[in-house]
Amino acid sequence: MSDLFTPLRLGAIELANRVVMSSLTRNRASHPGDVPNALMAEYYRQRASVGLILTEATPICPEGHGYPRTPGIHSPEQIDGWRKVTAAVHDAGGKIALQLWHVGRISHPDLQPGGALPVAPSAIRPAGQAVTFEGMKDFVTPRALETAEIPGLIASYVEAARNAMAAGFDGVEIHAGNGYLLDQFLRSSTNRRTDNYGGGKGNRARLLLEVVQRVVAAISADRVGVRLSPVTTFNDIIDDNPQETFEYVVGELNRFGLAFLDILQGIGGAPKEDWPPFDYERLRALYQGNLILNNDYGYTSAMAAVESGAADAIAFGRLLIANPDLVERFRRGLPFNPLDYATLYGGEEKGYTDYPFLAG
């Protein structure tokens, strides 16, 4: 029987254990240029004892940015910066995949090239506010992408995946969750398109499936994962029938023989009582590859999930921010450092690279 400490192969990526570091936005890239830096390399190096690191969400193109100081993967300087990160993690014996991100409407003209409107499947303004360099500002109504722009968007994903491989990553994760661009296409509340990319679930899933197909063709399926979050309401998103939508998506993903599927259960950061109902076991049964589950797992629940076969690996976020040596703490049954919420987004070393390791 497998447990959290059993090695695992995800496609071409060999994991020493089944503890995965979830993708976590930390807003510490160098600005201007949104370039990964030495501090980021140190942060990831400290966490290299997990089986696989999924990087913070990383914009694939200038239009994909929606927050200050999020590192991109679309300029030569960014690729060079990420090379230092992957080298640091590999030197420490770890594995690392880059999360490919486009925020779609969760942005603001202040963060867009030329002060343009953010793009989205449909011109529907999200409730809430964007994080800009000048503080919070109300979201604007985005511009609906023209059908003729879709091939260029897909090409940006492909280029970003190639850039990731050039930067030394072990693979990529296509971010199709949390109310960002690909999720905005998937879910009925944000997609009112009347072309082939909107309407029924097959049309709403078309962009994601085309992105997956083209990225797989470019860098090989055994280095590609996909992230979904079927019921999150984060970023003002919802679906009329998430069970039907996501069973369809997962069934279609079987075609590609991906390295892994990564599913965020419930709503990130929200208490379990507030999670909308959803049958994740149905997705487990439908999906023919490796499944990573995520959100609010602790040692006991993660062990149980792997031992029961509910998941092949478990991704941890908050615990890994505060405990760089989480795997060792799990192994030895030792207590965890508390998380400092005030230093999650932005800043420098404090709350980033200064969480203590276990002594001795």
Positions that interact with ligand PHB (CB under 6 A):
25, 57, 67, 178
Minimum distance, C-beta of residue 292 to ligand PHB, in the bound complex (Å): 14
Taking the complex as a whole, how short is the minimal distance between the CB of residue 155 and ligand PHB, in angstroms?
23
Q: Is 17 left (phi over 0), alpha (psi -120 to 50) or beta?
A: beta
What is the smallest separation between the CB atom of 104 and ligand PHB, expressed in angstroms?
A: 12
Q: How far is the CB of 58 from ligand PHB (least distance, A)?
A: 10
Residue placing its CB nearer to ligand PHB in the complex, 227 or 329 = 227
Q: What is the smallest separation between the CB atom of 67 and ligand PHB, expressed in angstroms? A: 5
| 313 bridge partner residues | 292
Nearer to ligand PHB, 8 or 64 (CB): 64
CA–CA gap between residue 252 and residue 287 (Å, rounded)? 9
Long-range contacts of 284-288 (CB under 8 A, 24+ apart): 284/310, 284/311, 286/247, 286/250, 286/251, 286/254, 287/250, 287/253, 287/254, 287/261, 288/254
Least distance CB 25 / ligand PHB (angstroms): 3
Range 45-66 burial, b when 16+ CB lie within 10 A, else e:
bbbbbbbbbbbbbbbbbbbbbb
- Measured from the CB atom, is 68 or 168 closer to ligand PHB? 68
Nearer Cβ to ligand PHB, position 24 or 306?
A: 24
How large is the C-alpha radius of gyration of the chain? 19
Asked whether the beta carbons of 236 and 138 are under 8 A apart, the reply is no
Output the DSSP codes for 236-267: T---S-HHHHHHHHHHHHGGG--SEEEEE-S-
Catalytic annotation, residues: 180
DSSP state of 20: E
Nearer to ligand PHB, 25 or 323 (CB): 25
Residue type, 154: I
Convert 60-121 into a string of H (helix), E (strand) and C (coil): CCHHHCCCCCCCCCCCHHHHHHHHHHHHHHHHCCCCEEEEEECCCCCCCHHHCHHHCCCEEC
Pick 26 or 223: Cβ nearer ligand PHB: 26
> Residue 87 has which token pair?
């080298």
Structural tokens at position 21: 């570091």
Q: Peptide bond before 59: cis, by omega within 30 degrees of 0?
A: no
* Residue 344: CB minimum distance to ligand PHB, A: 9
Question: Looking at beta carbons only, is 17 or 58 nearer to ligand PHB?
Answer: 58
